[in-house]
Amino acid sequence: MPLQVHQFPCLSDNYGYLLHDPDSGETTCIDTPDADEYLKQAGAKGWTITQIWNTHWHPDHAGGNAAIKAATGCKITAPVGDAAKIDEVDRTVGQGDTVKLGAWTADVIDVGGHTLGHIAYNLPEAKIAFVGDSLFALGCGRMFEGTPPQFWGSLARLKALSPQTLLYCAHEYTASNARFALHADPQNVALKDYAKEIAARRAEDLPTVPTELGRELATNPFLRADDAGLQAAWADRGARVGDPIATFAALRAAKDNF
Ligand SMILES: [Zn+2]
């Protein structure tokens, strides 16, 4: 049977995710913004939490680890580069490692930049990926700890996934991201259509997550820092034609002050 993703809002603008494998009965929390909410949602589904997969150390991603482990005895997998700041870790993983949920395999991808050790979990057979705060619909995470070459390398690894991959990002930031994307890339017709759809969904209080990678490749300015047209358009603002890292850095800095 296919994997089931249960998505629910928690804290102010986080999304909580429970990933359930009906065949094995295993359920993993993707991050733990709010222990009580996760335990409540799992209980309502009749699912028993057996694992936690953390993406990075920020408290709105790992703050519920101890309480959920105390309640369930689950096993916690966390990024090796952030693990010193994460509670109750059983196993550390990095680029190229795999994590199992029943018979399903998640590939660990290094997506450092928002934090140094940030990782994503990609399940190619299910065509889903949990990307935390590395990549958002029409945006990317703030570069709190990393550098532009590191962050661009992370986005390049995500760009290489199957374009049909559904990306489960950790926050509902899309409407604000769309405003910056339209400023960054105003002639992009696919982006204009996407922004209209986002506005309509948000007007009805519907989520804009998950988003499909293929659509992000055509519209997300941070994933398009290697696009010659965008590089040229931003050349007077720090970008350079032929230089995705400088272009990414210019876009990221502009978004910080937008
Ligand atoms: Zn974060």
The pLDDT tens digits for 174-186 are 999 999 999 999 9
Confidence bin at 117 (pLDDT 50/70/90): very high
Residue the block writes with tokens 């290094």: 110
Give the Å distance between the CA of 189 and the centre of ligand 1: 31
Please report whether residue 44 resides in a domain: yes
Please report whether residue 228 resides in a domain: no
Give tens-digit pLDDT for 64-74. Answer: 999 999 999 99
Q: What's the mean pLDDT when you consider all of the chain?
A: 98
Report the distance separating Cα 137 and Cα 7, nearest Å.
16
Give tens-digit pLDDT for 149-172. Answer: 999 999 999 999 999 999 999 999
Give the Å distance between the CA of 22 and the centre of ligand 1: 30
Please report whether residue 82 resides in a domain: yes
Please report whether residue 242 resides in a domain: no
Q: What is the pLDDT of residue 226?
A: 98
Give the domain extent around 195. Answer: 4-223
Residue ranges with CB less than 5 Å from ion ligand 1:
58, 133
Please report whether residue 239 resides in a domain: no
Instruction: Provide φ and ψ at 247, rounded to 5°.
Output: -70, -45
Residue the block writes with tokens 């991050």: 31
Give tens-digit pLDDT for 31-55. Answer: 999 999 999 999 999 999 999 999 9
Classify each residue of 206-215 as buried b or exposed e, where b means 16 or more C-beta atoms within 10 Å of its C-beta.
Answer: eebbbbebeb
Please report whether residue 124 resides in a domain: yes
Please report whether residue 84 resides in a domain: yes
Q: What is the pLDDT of residue 7?
A: 98
Confidence bin at 115 (pLDDT 50/70/90): very high
Give the Å distance between the CA of 214 and the centre of ligand 1: 24
Confidence bin at 100 (pLDDT 50/70/90): very high
Please report whether residue 258 resides in a domain: no
Nearest to 79 by CA among 113, 37, 46: 113
Tokens matching residue 243: 């230089």
Give the Å distance between the CA of 93 and the centre of ligand 1: 18
| Domains: count for the chain | 1
**In 3-state terms, the chain is what percent helix, strand and coil (to 5)?**
35, 25, 40
Instruction: Provide φ and ψ at 137, rounded to 5°.
Output: -60, 120
In single-letter form, the type of residue at position 151 comes to F
Cβ partners under 8 Å of residue 75, min gap 6: 50, 51, 52, 90, 91
Give the Å distance between the CA of 99 and the centre of ligand 1: 21
Share of the chain above pLDDT 90, in %: 100
The CATH number of residue 198's host domain is 3.60.15.10
Q: What is the pLDDT of residue 193?
A: 98
Q: Are 230 and 187 in contact (CB under 8 A)?
A: no
